[in-house]
Amino acid sequence: MVRASDNATQESLFVMIRTTNSKIAKNAASINAIGRVTQARVSRREGLRGIDVPAGRALY
């Protein structure tokens, strides 16, 4: 038999997991965005100098 308190506990755990997952997703999105911006900067620098920067590509 499942008690009401068990259900409440389960529900709050699910809510916690969902909020954590959305936070992780947001962080991943911002990290990806930073990576893209960095890559764009590196590419622009390559274009200006005519130098290939493989380290910049390895980072992202």
The pTM of the whole model exceeds 0.85: no
pLDDT of the chain along its 60 residues, tens only? 556 677 788 888 889 999 998 888 888 888 888 888 887 777 766 666 555 555 555 544
Q: Is 8 exposed, middle or buried (0-12, 13-18, 19+ CB in 10 A)?
A: exposed
What does the domain layout of the chain look like in residue ranges? 25-60
